[in-house]
Amino acid sequence: MKNNSKKVLPLTIQNASVSEKVNKKSTTLISIKKYQSTQNTNDIFYRPISKL
Amino acid sequence: MNTLPVLKMHSNCIVVKGVNRSTICDLQRNEVKLIPNDLENLIKLYEGKTIEEINSKYDTKHHVIVEEYINFLIEHEYAFFTDTPEFYPKLNTNWFEPAEITNAIIDINSDTKYDVQKVLVQLDELNCKHVQIRFFKILKLDEIIELLDFLNKSNSIVSSINFVVSFTEEFSIESVTTLFKKQPRICSFLIYNHTEEKFIKPLQGNHIKYIQYTTKNISSASHCGVISSEYFLPNVKAFTESLQHNSCLNRKISVDVKGNIKNCPSMTEDFGNIQETSLSEALHHKNFKKYWNITKDQIETCKDCEFKHICTDCRAYLENPENQYSKPLKCGYNPYINEWTVWSKNPLKEKAIAYYNL
């Protein structure tokens, strides 16, 4: 008999990535090409001021 | 006393739940990984438990997947096992910034009448360090040099500037690179109306400063507000600011091409003209800060999105212009089906696109 208190895990990590692979626009690992970390400097703003 | 090692997430790796799937945001490595909501659930419920305790919560047939989940967290260094979890507190997610204004946009076109240098002086008084100056006109490189020299002579607090300019031969890679070397305040150049797309890091060893050439014609403020994975920011500052504030408009002030002081040049509401009103006066208008604390958790659709705290926002162009908590119009991501589409081709957005004359 099924124990209802137990968690059910229908998805593997690979399954979660499937829809991403279908769509080229968003990959499982999002690279930050243009706005990389600025934690090593205080002089650069850490997010785009506008989004053109 | 429990002496067996327990599962513990690294404090800089934060899980964000979306409606269909979740993300682990590694705020130190600036990476994002998609995970199933089941793994999010496991972390939420069983972080701090031993592997035996975690397994006991699942049917035996799922133990293989539990193992896969745990291995995934360990292999990617999102989590670890420790018998002293109390030594690893959660990341402090409070966001603090002493400056009244952290970032500003100044728009200029061929009809602009106001004095840009006066605006820069006022930004200095507000302790604003980061400025974007967008030229919707053809300009000479000398005009930019004059502004930078002015900031240098006045010892301005403004320490990073993004320029948006139309391409002419004066804005070649060589001449702009030379300018970067001479003027440390320059953060980036976005040069539009070019013949090709190019992305250049002009300074050796500096991975942050860049020159971007684009074929787009960025002729007005109406080009702003695009939501894209290219603007995703998995870092501590942006993430923690997003938890408490609007990820576009917080601590922002703008002057549009006519000199109107606004939250953002693309918005309709203004708080006076820079020729009669100071930035400080506008800032203290009762309505000026009304968008600053609208977080993604309050915005329709965004609140269900797994990218909500690494994404930027836009309150100028909305799917429903009558609702200030509406999803950004220029976002093509649908978290309910996990697909990106071209926002401008979405038939459901036609009405709003017409409303904004885009």
Residue A43's pLDDT is 60
**Using the beta-carbon criterion (under 8 Å), do B218 and A52 form an inter-chain contact?**
yes
Residue A5's pLDDT is 60
Residues of B in contact with A26 (CB under 8 A): 229, 333, 338, 340
Q: What is the mean pLDDT of residues B146-158?
A: 95
Does A1 contact chain B (CB < 8 Å)?
Answer: no
Q: Show which of residues 256-315 on chain B sit within 8 Å of chain A, judged by CB atoms.
A: 264, 312, 314
Q: Are B247 and B292 in contact (CB under 8 A)?
A: no
**pLDDT above 50 (res A39):** no
CB nearest to B210's CB, from A34, A41, A52: A34
Residue A12's pLDDT is 65
- Tally: H helices and E strands in chain A: 1, 0
Residues of B in contact with A49 (CB under 8 A): 103-105, 130-132, 162, 252
CB atoms within 10 A of CB A12: 17
Confidence of residue A25 (pLDDT cuts 50, 70, 90): very low
Residue holding tokens 């040049």?
Answer: B265
B198-200 and B210-213 beta bridge pairing: antiparallel
**Using the beta-carbon criterion (under 8 Å), do A13 and B36 form an inter-chain contact?**
yes
> Considering only CA atoms, which of A4, A38, A19 is closest in space to residue B57?
A4
Burial B265-303 (b: 16+ CB within 10 A, else e): bbbeebbbbbeebbbeebbeeeebeebeebbbeebebbb
**pLDDT above 50 (res A27):** no
Confidence of residue A47 (pLDDT cuts 50, 70, 90): confident
**pLDDT above 60 (res B122):** yes
**φ, ψ (nearest 5 deg) of residue B34:** -80, 140
Residue A11's pLDDT is 63
**pLDDT above 50 (res A35):** no
Q: What is the pLDDT of residues B237-249, one digit of tens each?
A: 999 999 999 999 9
CB nearest to A35's CB, from B32, B37, B231: B231
ipTM for the predicted complex comes to 0.81
**pLDDT above 90 (res A19):** no
Residues of B in contact with A1 (CB under 8 A): none
Residue B205's pLDDT is 80
Residue B204's pLDDT is 85
Strands (E), chain B: 6-9, 13-17, 21-26, 31-36, 79-82, 103-109, 130-136, 160-166, 186-192, 198-200, 210-213, 252-255, 261-262, 333-334, 339-340
Q: What is the pLDDT of residues B272-310, one digit of tens each?
A: 999 999 999 999 999 999 999 999 999 999 999 999 999
**pLDDT above 60 (res B228):** yes
Q: What is the pLDDT of residues B63-110, one digit of tens each?
A: 999 999 999 999 999 999 999 999 999 999 999 999 999 999 999 999
Chain B interface test: which of A17, A50, A51, A52 (most B C-beta within 10 Å): A50
- Report the C-alpha gap between B200 and B174 in whole angstroms: 11
Does B126 contact chain A (CB < 8 Å)?
Answer: no
Q: What is the pLDDT of residues B304-340, one digit of tens each?
A: 999 999 999 999 999 999 999 999 999 999 999 999 9
Q: Show which of residues 17-36 on chain A sit within 8 Å of chain B, judged by CB atoms.
A: 17, 19-20, 23, 25-26, 28-30, 32-36
**Using the beta-carbon criterion (under 8 Å), do B38 and A6 form an inter-chain contact?**
no
- Mind telling me how many Å the CA of B152 is from chain A's nearest CA? 15
Angstrom distances, CA of residue B128 to CA of A12, A44, A48, B159, B286: 47, 12, 15, 9, 20
Does A48 contact chain B (CB < 8 Å)?
Answer: yes
Q: Are B261 and B276 in contact (CB under 8 A)?
A: no
Share of chain B above pLDDT 70, in %: 99
- Report the C-alpha gap between B141 and B135 in whole angstroms: 12
State the helix-helix crossing angle for B141-153 and B173-182, rounded to 10 degrees.
0
Confidence of residue A23 (pLDDT cuts 50, 70, 90): very low
Residue A24 amino acid letter: K
- Report the C-alpha gap between B239 and B242 in whole angstroms: 5
> Considering only CA atoms, which of B3, B11, B1, B2 is closest in space to residue B80?
B11
Residues of A in contact with B129 (CB under 8 A): 43, 45
**pLDDT above 50 (res B142):** yes
Residue A7's pLDDT is 64
Residues of B in contact with A9 (CB under 8 A): 38, 58, 62, 65-66
Q: Show which of residues 27-86 on chain B sit within 8 Å of chain A, judged by CB atoms.
A: 30-39, 41-42, 57-59, 62, 65-66, 68-69, 72
Q: What average pLDDT does chain B have?
A: 95
> Considering only CA atoms, which of B318, B188, B293 is closest in space to residue B242?
B293
Give the A:B interface size as CB pairs under 8 Å. Answer: 154
Paired tokens of B297? 């958790």
CB atoms within 10 A of CB B331: 26
Task: Report the predicted TM-score, pTM, of the whole model to 2 decimal places.
Answer: 0.88
Which residue in chain B is spatially nearest to A2 when comparing CA positions?
Answer: B59
Residue A45's pLDDT is 84
Q: Are B253 and B238 in contact (CB under 8 A)?
A: no
